[in-house]
């Protein structure tokens, strides 16, 4: 159908055009972002009897990074089989650098996660998600508890991570939103927060938004607002040429809208200087190459000659059986699944000197995931459950590979061919990172909003949940912090009068939003997007320094008043993408300011300052915070242990009891 792409004679837009038309919505709790955290937040608030509205750029039935499924559920400490307690995980967080960089987040998110993870799973089960082996397919398996029919991942003794059949988790949440009468706004992008009197730093009283199909403008007024959008992604690399938007693990709509809104409104942000390198569009299909990590844990790996790569425990003792890969070391109570944890928590792994032994010729590439040699139940649970239910695997891996003839009982999936050092850490489908191509944070944790034990941000009326929290973590953490924020916001909303929004602020935002569609020519969004990525790579890449960051900020300003001011959008979809470029300009600026503010390098934060090479000096063992105050950027700091210092209580248990909005 070449006529669809005829630029000289374009067709009419596919949906009614409603530029300038306005819908006004009044509610008690507004949730911005309808992913995992947002849905759980909206459901929790609605169950408390408040009027809730939720909006998302995508369709809530599938939107968000958890929208295509989930296969394992972390930190289910209160499940009847778990030998790990919330206090165990709290202790672990206290033993890590900066206390915020774990796969469970910080003391606050970890306390919420550990206490509510299993209950949230039971809630999902009531909504129709399969969280047990109800078909009795795995009767007798070591990872199955016969009484509860729960299936466990990783540590089969401590049983704190549950394998679930979560491909349909989002449709179930969507059904529950509808059942509870939550007002659902699909394809509606939040553009900015409304504040009392329209001034930054004041109470948040709602938000503006635009429909990405029709261009209609929305004004939401709310007693409380929950930001449940994700971390900013694709800020250093934006290329759709090789594999569309699959150049990042994270949902393409996760552009940092919430971060930009919070930054513009004057909320405090932290840890935005933390980043990791990645391979951009040169990575492979997620979970789609031979692996021994994450959802593939703990698949046997062989080299091209069929020689098995040994598994060892944390002391380097070679494990003789497959079963031992799922057990703590002698004398160890439990292990955690992440590789870079302190010794106390380290689990079984492939030999750590694999790279060296490949170089010496002991193991010859390519390596393969030897599913056929795995015990039948382990093979079935890896390929048939994990790779059929984890996000971005059911169709892209299970269905596609099965249709192509891949048979897990007979075939060994090849691991991607990497330089030897690439095999030191998994997952191998991530390929080899490029130093100046970065993502904010780590794989499951990163910078965002400063928050307290109520999940309130530093702006009155504004809560945060999931990845929007500085150090928000995995799927279960998003779900649990979502509902915790939902309860707290609902309770606070009942005590708050319906606030007024500033008509002046609304008018100004409307003008800003529609500027790209008022132009009859200009630059396309992709060029400006790619250009600003280049600024991030060059001036805010692996090595940062004050002169380069200051110049980078100058170039961002220059792009904003130059190329960005001439960006144009030919329909509401392009309008969304142009607004996202504006989001990334704001977030890029915030990241550069955060990077300037930390005058020290840090290994744990993946942060290198050429002009401050000293690594993790004790005086910088703190959280650097940044916020805007008019044109000024204000830098502050927080104790890494702030969750357990006054005005808060000294234990997670006590703080949780005081702030969880439940009668315990």
Shortest distance in whole angstroms from residue 326 CB to another protein: 18
Of 136 and 629, CB closest to another protein = 136
Shortest distance in whole angstroms from residue 218 CB to another protein: 17
Please give the residues from 142 up to 181 whose contact with another protein meets the rule CB under 8 A.
165, 167
Query: If DSSP codes are grouped into helix, strand and coil, which group holds residue 24?
Result: strand
How do strand 52-55 and strand 183-185 relate by DSSP bridges?
parallel
Strand partners, 279: none
Of 2 and 331, CB closest to another protein = 2
Among 323, 395, 610, 662, binds another protein (CB under 8 A): 395
Query: Of the candidates 227, 83, 195, 4, which has an alpha carbon nearest to the alpha carbon of residue 628?
Result: 195
Shortest distance in whole angstroms from residue 58 CB to another protein: 4
Please give the residues from 254 up to 313 whose contact with another protein meets the rule CB under 8 A.
284-285, 288-290
485 φ, ψ (degrees, to nearest 5): -65, -40
Among 58, 266, 482, 606, binds another protein (CB under 8 A): 58
Q: Contact between 375 and another protein (CB under 8 A)? A: no
Q: Total residues contacting another protein (rule CB under 8 A)?
A: 71
Segment near another protein (CB under 8 A), from 262-270, 407-415, 419-427, 629-637?
407-415
Q: Contact between 244 and another protein (CB under 8 A)? A: yes
Shortest distance in whole angstroms from residue 397 CB to another protein: 9
**Mask 558-587, x = binds another protein (CB under 8 A)?**
---------------x--------------
Shortest distance in whole angstroms from residue 409 CB to another protein: 9
Query: Of the candidates 444, 392, 53, which has an alpha carbon nearest to the alpha carbon of residue 231?
Result: 444
Segment near another protein (CB under 8 A), from 189-197, 340-348, 390-398, 506-514?
390-398
Of 270 and 393, CB closest to another protein = 393
**Residue 472 DSSP label:** B
Of 373 and 566, CB closest to another protein = 373
C-alpha 134/C-alpha 150 separation (Å) is: 9
Q: Could you tell me which residues come within 8 angstroms of residue 564 by beta carbon, excluding any fewer than 6 positions away?
A: 528, 581, 582, 585
Among 201, 310, 372, 460, binds another protein (CB under 8 A): 372
Shortest distance in whole angstroms from residue 141 CB to another protein: 12
Please give the residues from 77 up to 106 whose contact with another protein meets the rule CB under 8 A.
none
Phi-psi region of 483 (alpha: psi -120 to 50; beta: other; left: phi over 0): alpha
Phi-psi region of 280 (alpha: psi -120 to 50; beta: other; left: phi over 0): left
Q: Contact between 63 and another protein (CB under 8 A)? A: yes
Among 368, 428, 539, 555, binds another protein (CB under 8 A): 368
Of 190 and 643, CB closest to another protein = 190
How do strand 217-227 and strand 434-440 relate by DSSP bridges?
unpaired
Q: Contact between 62 and another protein (CB under 8 A)? A: yes
Shortest distance in whole angstroms from residue 275 CB to another protein: 22
C-alpha 293/C-alpha 73 separation (Å) is: 15
Query: Of the candidates 418, 437, 414, which has an alpha carbon nearest to the alpha carbon of residue 281?
Result: 437
What is the three-state SS of 162-183? Answer: EECECCCHHHHHHHHHHHCCCE
Of 71 and 313, CB closest to another protein = 71
Sheet architecture: strand order including 269-270: 448-449, 269-270, 622-629, 632-639
Shortest distance in whole angstroms from residue 11 CB to another protein: 7
Q: Contact between 401 and another protein (CB under 8 A)? A: yes
Among 50, 211, 253, 468, binds another protein (CB under 8 A): 253
Q: Contact between 495 and another protein (CB under 8 A)? A: no
DSSP 171-238: HHHHHHHHHTT-EEETTEEEEEEEEGGG-TTS-EEEEEEEETTT--EEEEEEEEEEE------SSS--
Distances from the Cα of 430 to the Cα of 168, 426, 497, angstroms: 25, 8, 49
Paired tokens of 137: 């397919």
Among 197, 252, 420, 524, binds another protein (CB under 8 A): 252
- Does the N-terminal peptide bond of residue 299 adopt cis geometry, omega within 30 degrees of 0? no
Query: Of the candidates 248, 249, 276, 271, which has an alpha carbon nearest to the alpha carbon of residue 259?
Result: 271
Query: Of the candidates 8, 409, 456, 521, which has an alpha carbon nearest to the alpha carbon of residue 203?
Result: 456
Paired tokens of 229: 């959008």
Please give the residues from 5 up to 44 whose contact with another protein meets the rule CB under 8 A.
5, 11, 14-15
Query: Of the candidates 540, 22, 586, which has an alpha carbon nearest to the alpha carbon of residue 257?
Result: 586
Q: Contact between 514 and another protein (CB under 8 A)? A: no
Shortest distance in whole angstroms from residue 407 CB to another protein: 4
Please give the residues from 408 up to 467 whose contact with another protein meets the rule CB under 8 A.
408, 410-414, 416
Q: Contact between 521 and another protein (CB under 8 A)? A: no
Among 204, 355, 385, 471, binds another protein (CB under 8 A): 385
Among 321, 356, 364, 407, binds another protein (CB under 8 A): 407
Q: State the DSSP H helix or E strand holding residue 528, giving kind and residue range, or none if neither.
A: helix 525-539
Among 81, 127, 180, 246, binds another protein (CB under 8 A): 246
Shortest distance in whole angstroms from residue 97 CB to another protein: 33
Query: If DSSP codes are grouped into helix, strand and coil, which group holds residue 577?
Result: helix
Q: Contact between 402 and another protein (CB under 8 A)? A: yes
Shortest distance in whole angstroms from residue 3 CB to another protein: 10
Among 214, 300, 392, 628, binds another protein (CB under 8 A): 392
Contact between 331 and 154 (Cβ < 8 Å): no
Among 48, 99, 213, 659, binds another protein (CB under 8 A): 213
């Amino acid at each position: 159908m070449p006529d669809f792409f005829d630029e000289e004679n374009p067709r009419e837009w596919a949906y009614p055009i409603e530029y300038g038309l306005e819908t006004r919505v009044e509610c008690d709790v507004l949730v911005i972002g309808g992913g995992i955290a947002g849905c759980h937040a909206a459901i929790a608030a609605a169950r408390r009897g408040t009027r809730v509205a939720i909006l998302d750029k995508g369709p809530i039935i599938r939107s968000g990074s958890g929208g295509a499924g989930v296969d394992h559920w972390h930190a289910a400490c209160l499940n009847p089989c778990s030998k790990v307690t919330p206090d165990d995980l709290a202790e672990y967080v206290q033993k890590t650098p900066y206390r915020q960089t774990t796969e469970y987040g910080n003391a606050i998110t970890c306390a919420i996660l550990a206490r509510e993870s299993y209950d949230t799973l039971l809630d999902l089960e009531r909504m129709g998600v399969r969280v047990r082996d109800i078909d009795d397919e795995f009767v007798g398996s070591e990872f199955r508890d016969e009484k509860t029919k729960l299936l466990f991942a990783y540590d089969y003794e401590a049983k704190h991570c549950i394998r679930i059949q979560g491909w349909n988790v989002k449709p179930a949440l969507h059904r529950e939103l509808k059942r509870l009468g939550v007002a659902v706004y699909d394809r509606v992008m939040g553009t900015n927060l409304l504040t009392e009197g329209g001034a930054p730093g004041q109470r948040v009283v709602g938000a503006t938004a635009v429909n990405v199909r029709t261009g209609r403008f929305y004004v939401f007024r709310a007693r409380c607002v929950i930001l449940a959008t994700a971390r900013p992604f694709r800020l250093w690399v934006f290329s759709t040429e090789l594999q569309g938007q699959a150049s990042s693990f994270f949902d393409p709509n996760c552009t940092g809208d919430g971060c930009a809104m919070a930054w513009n409104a004057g909320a405090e942000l932290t840890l935005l200087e933390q980043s990791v390198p990645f391979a951009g569009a040169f990575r492979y299909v997620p979970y789609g190459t031979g692996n021994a990590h994450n959802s593939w844990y703990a698949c046997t790996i062989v080299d091209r000659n069929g020689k098995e790569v040994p598994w060892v425990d944390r002391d380097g003792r070679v494990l003789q059986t497959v079963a031992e890969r799922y057990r703590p070391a002698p004398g160890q109570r439990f292990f955690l699944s992440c590789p870079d944890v302190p010794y106390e928590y380290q689990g079984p792994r492939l030999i750590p000197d694999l790279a060296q032994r490949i170089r010496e010729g002991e193991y010859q590439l390519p390596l393969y995931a030897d599913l056929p040699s795995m015990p039948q139940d382990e093979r079935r649970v890896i390929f048939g459950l994990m790779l059929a239910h984890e996000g971005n695997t059911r169709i892209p891996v299970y269905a596609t590979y099965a249709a192509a003839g891949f048979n897990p009982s007979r075939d060994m999936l090849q691991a991607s061919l990497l330089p030897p050092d690439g095999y030191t850490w998994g997952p191998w489908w991530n390929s080899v990172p490029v130093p100046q191509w970065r993502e904010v944070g780590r794989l499951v944790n990163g910078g965002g909003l400063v928050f307290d034990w109520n999940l309130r941000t530093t702006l009155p009326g504004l809560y945060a949940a999931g990845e929007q929290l500085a150090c928000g973590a995995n799927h279960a953490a998003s779900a649990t912090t979502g509902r915790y924020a939902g309860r707290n916001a609902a309770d606070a909303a009942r005590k708050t009068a319906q606030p007024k929004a500033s008509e002046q602020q609304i008018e100004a935002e409307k003008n800003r939003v529609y500027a790209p569609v008022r132009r009859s020519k200009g630059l396309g969004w992709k060029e400006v997007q790619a250009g600003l990525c280049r600024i991030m790579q060059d001036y805010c890449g692996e090595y940062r320094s004050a002169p380069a960051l200051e110049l980078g900020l100058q170039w961002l300003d220059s792009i904003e008043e130059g190329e960005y001011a001439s960006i144009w959008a030919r329909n509401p979809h392009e309008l969304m993408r142009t607004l996202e470029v504006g989001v990334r300009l704001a977030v890029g600026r915030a990241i550069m300011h955060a990077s300037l503010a930390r005058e020290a390098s840090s290994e744990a934060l993946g942060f290198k300052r050429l002009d401050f090479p000293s690594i993790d000096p004790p005086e910088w063992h703190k959280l650097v915070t940044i916020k805007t105050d008019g044109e000024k950027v204000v830098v502050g700091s927080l104790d890494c242990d702030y969750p357990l210092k006054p005005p808060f209580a000294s234990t997670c248990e006590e703080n949780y009891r005081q702030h969880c909005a439940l009668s315990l």
